[in-house]
Amino acid sequence: MGYLTQFKIPFAGLALGDHRFDYTVDNQFFEQFENSVIQKADLRVVLTFNKQETMLLLGFTVEGTLDVICDRCADEFAMPVADKWELIIKLGDEEKELSDNMVMINRNAHEINVAQYIYEFISLLPPQKIVHPDDSDGNSTCDLNTLKAISELETKAPQADPRWEVLKKLKIK
């Protein structure tokens, strides 16, 4: 039995109405997905599962931390995350994605594995630019030694080769 089997929900045997599932999402979870951007995490996912006659309404709540690399100083830190999202699963004749938060599965299906949905939603949590949060005084909490070294390297950067400037003038004509 694989690690991700704990994320299977045998909904055919569930009564109509609300059900709750709690999951711990950690490093081992992300190891199950090839080329995962997230490597380390300590998250709690609560799934509210509402079974209806022709659809399943899933409400996910995630809280915890993701270990990320700061884009400014390249230092690893635990970034707190908290978010909610909903997924509607319609029961129909085929399996297809209808929109970002709506999918259709075969009405003869008897279980669903929510691991892929959890993985995709959590992968979208980190912002495009990841930097250490500022402290209470508004100062950066990045590694000061690294920032100083980067600043020194920028000032020592070699100037553009003057031959390129001559070539750029030819391109303009």
Global pTM reads 0.81
pLDDT score for 140 = 83
Per-residue pLDDT tens, the chain, 173 aa: give them. 589 999 999 998 899 999 999 999 999 999 999 988 898 999 999 999 999 999 999 999 999 999 999 998 889 999 999 999 999 999 999 899 999 899 999 999 999 999 999 999 999 999 999 999 888 898 888 888 888 888 887 777 667 777 777 777 777 65
The ranges assigned to domains in the chain are 3-134
- Distance between CA 91 and CA 72 in Å, rounded? 46
pLDDT score for 143 = 84
Give 1's DSSP letter: -
pLDDT score for 161 = 76
Pairing of strands 76-92, 102-106: parallel
Write the DSSP string, 85-100. EEEEEEEESS-EEEET
pLDDT score for 1 = 54
Chain position carrying tokens 């899933």: 58
pLDDT score for 112 = 94
Q: Is 129 helix (H, G, I), strand (E, B) or coil?
A: coil
